[in-house]
Structure 1
Amino acid sequence: MRLRIATFNIENLAARDAFGKSARPETKAALSLFDFSEPRDRENAERAIALMVEDEKRQATALAIAEARADVLICQEVDNLGVLQPFLANYVHEFTDLRYGHLKVIDGNDPRGIDVAFAARRDLVAGKNDVRFKSHHERTFGELGVLDESLAEFGIGPDDLVFNRDCLEATLDLGEAELTIFACHFKSMGQPDKGGRDATRPIREAEAKAVRAIVQERFGDEWREANWIVAGDLNDFRERILAGGRAERSLPSGIDVLFDDFGVNPVERLLPAERWTLFHQAMLKDGSLVEEHVQLDYLLLSPALAAANPEPAVEIVRRGLPYRVPLDPAHPDRSVAYLATRADRYPRVGWDRPKASDHCPLVVEIDVPPRRL
């Protein structure tokens, strides 16, 4: 059976206007233009601006999902089912003839409330019982055997929860075939001036080991022969594409255990300058500029799926990124005059905002082998 699978970090699909005490930065910037004599005037303006900004952004997000045309869609940073349903109904379904259902969002461990979500074409399977879900957000370091000395500095003990969000297991009964997806969103790398990727690597290493243990627990000795995919924003990379288009290996990575004699990354089939789903640019305290294109989003195929699909179709949808992002890492011109006139984004996408997300949807089209007799 031929399927298109996509993963997309859709960046704060929330029903709330703010996370904790910090207001949305887009709203804050717009409000700074005005002088309000009454608090209520400011509150009304804030609501109006927030709605406008969110509408612009979600139109771009929906266009990216529509372009991906996925049969199965894995999303990260979804607040809850109550916001996912109206987003699909009022935005995504306005832009495509695909209709998504079989929705699942389980409250995970992130204190901001951003969760992993699952959606599939309504007509992909016949009934509710044809998609089975299992959350692993309550699994502990000790239970999964992933506690080691590198985690001591974080104060982590055997009874602490492994996943910063969740590993949501979704099994689809496709009739002639079965496919299990492990949807994840790992610990972020944090800020470069606070140690960044290196400082937080042990936590992602533990999450990656936990996912591997869960897959092997699920399928036993036949895990190599089973149809499974590890999907999501794993928040780490194994190579960086530098300005000029040169790819540079960047190991060790916090997710190496998912690659070493385990999952297969179909994105590696692409040319080096195409193997990225996020652009990162930051000014460090010493005044130096960090700029790199990296792959943070993955659809790792089981050995069985990889063997059945030696040349899977791989697409990375980038038209929802803001214009400040160079879509061609090899092009030397980073000027506003060049980047802002590419005309290769969705209508109304801006220099920095609005945008679909800071991540790109990653799509892999594969044939799912039939059940083993």
Structure 2
Amino acid sequence: MRLATFNVENMFDRAKALNGANWEEGKPALEAHKELNALFEKARYSAADKARMLSLFEKHGLLKTDDSPLLLLRKIRGQLIKRPRVGDAEIVATGRKSWVGWVELKTEPVNETATLNTARVLGEINADVQAVIEAEDRTTLRLFNQQLLPEVDAKPFQHVMLVDGNDDRGIDVGLMTRPKFPIVSIRSHVDDTDASGTIFSRDCAEYEISLPGGKRLWVMVNHLKSKGYGSQASNDAKRKRQAKRIRTLYDAHLAEGDTLVAVVGDLNEIPDNDPLTPLLRQNSTLIDISSHPKYESGGREGTHGNCGPSAKLDYILLSPDLYASVTAAGVERRGMWGGVNGTLWEHFPEVSNADEAASDHAALWVDLDL
């Protein structure tokens, strides 16, 4: 069977703030989105809270309107802000119970050609068990599977599953499998907490796959905290907390007698850095597929951007029994653009510029003799 993972960077709609062309403006908008929604949840709004809301509204175009280029203020009940024709705007809500609403990120359609190229990547890999990162929701993933894969002469998957995670930007993790590899159970970890609070930025979704012959494969699909916004120290600490929890879950499988376990996805970190220590060191038995002698790297270590050594963000980590069953493995970069001029590697003819790329990430795959 073939197991694969691919960060699809959304299929039909993506938050404008997440698009590379808007990143200088997008990064502060993402931070404001998070901070404002946290402020809104307070039971009582202090004078300092109200002042901070107004400051963020002014900075991001929401002081005079609910609709700005990257953010949208949703008000369902009650009143948050008063905007008089003459004079200054003011926050009139006293706390969370006095109004219902939030700030959301505005979305825009993904380039149609890019969406088809995403389908081409999945078609070329032709996995039996395919993890997807940054999919909007199960409905979108199901429609993509049914409608877009046939457009590029690729076979749709029989089983499509995604559980919404903790990120409200529509970047969830999911799994698609072929008829011989049904999903028989799912474990979500969106509510897992430790002393510092909620652990997973999205989820660590555990999928139990039935294999021919009665065996079970566990695939743990992950998308760890990004480096995109927030302080480096805070982001690193968050990723390490997530890696620790994944390691605990993985070790629990081994203790229960589950020997076929894979941890896959976008871990947003390079192997040698501290956040991945729980998964790759500290007596971990997980083994990175890129270390296998049959892994074909295409001459580059990384999986993101220009795919240099500092851009290895995507992983397939295997338990010892799975690693022992590897017959082939590799990386699929043809859906990526590849450098400023698209000359760093061969890409699909349909990828004629960066906007048409399927993703900024490569896909990884491994063939297993089970």
- Please, what TM-score do these two structures have when normalized by structure 2? 0.68
Corresponding residue of 1:206: 241
C-alpha contact 1:102 1:119 (8 A) present in aligned 2: yes
Alignment of 1:1-373 (within 5 A): 3-14=1-12, 16=13, 18=15, 22=17, 54-121=111-178, 123-125=179-181, 131-141=184-194, 147=195, 156=196, 160-176=197-213, 177-190=215-228, 195-196=231-232, 198-220=233-255, 222=257, 226-238=259-271, 251-260=272-281, 261-269=284-292, 270=295, 273-279=299-305, 293-309=310-326, 312-324=327-339, 336=341, 339-340=342-343, 344-368=346-370
Gaps of 5+ in 1: 29-49, 142-146, 148-155, 239-250, 282-290, 326-335, 369-373
Once residues 306 and 343 of structure 1 are traced to their aligned partners in structure 2, the CA distance between those partners, rounded to angstroms, is 28
Once residues 274 and 313 of structure 1 are traced to their aligned partners in structure 2, the CA distance between those partners, rounded to angstroms, is 17
Q: CA deviation at 1:110?
A: 0.9
Change (3 A) 1:201 1:120: same
Q: CA deviation at 1:64?
A: 0.8
Gaps of 5+ in 2: 24-107
Corresponding residue of 1:43: none
Instruction: Look up the SS of the partner of 1:137 in the other structure.
Output: coil
Corresponding residue of 2:28: none
Q: CA deviation at 1:63?
A: 0.7
Deviations 1:25-82 (A, max 9, x none): 7699xxxxxxxxxxxxxxxxxxxxx65x521111111111111110000001111111
RMSD, aligned CA: 2.8
Query: Which ranges of 4 or more aligned residues in structure 1 deviate by more than 4 Å?
Result: 22-28
Q: Which has the higher contact order (CA 8 A, sep 6+)?
A: 1
C-alpha contact 2:334 2:345 (8 A) present in aligned 1: no
C-alpha contact 1:135 1:169 (8 A) present in aligned 2: yes
Q: CA deviation at 1:11?
A: 0.4
Once residues 117 and 185 of structure 1 are traced to their aligned partners in structure 2, the CA distance between those partners, rounded to angstroms, is 10
Once residues 18 and 190 of structure 1 are traced to their aligned partners in structure 2, the CA distance between those partners, rounded to angstroms, is 14
- Please, what TM-score do these two structures have when normalized by structure 1? 0.68
Q: CA deviation at 1:17?
A: 5.8
Structure with bigger gyration radius: 2
Q: In the alignment, residue 170 of structure 1 is paired with which amino acid?
A: Y
Q: In the alignment, residue 214 of structure 1 is paired with which amino acid?
A: L
Corresponding residue of 2:37: none
Deviations 1:342-369 (A, max 9, x none): 782112313321101000110011122x
Change (3 A) 1:271 1:107: closer
Instruction: Look up the SS of the partner of 1:170 in the other structure.
Output: strand
Instruction: Look up the SS of the partner of 1:12 in the other structure.
Output: coil
C-alpha contact 2:222 2:264 (8 A) present in aligned 1: yes
Once residues 271 and 347 of structure 1 are traced to their aligned partners in structure 2, the CA distance between those partners, rounded to angstroms, is 22
Identity %: 28
Q: CA deviation at 1:321?
A: 0.7
Per mean C-alpha deviation after superposition, the further-off stretch among 94-103 and 68-77 is 94-103
* Paired residues, number: 281
Deviations 1:108-128 (A, max 9, x none): 01131311011001x224xx6
Q: In the alignment, residue 302 of structure 1 is paired with which amino acid?
A: S
Once residues 175 and 124 of structure 2 are traced to their aligned partners in structure 1, the CA distance between those partners, rounded to angstroms, is 18
Change (3 A) 1:210 1:25: closer
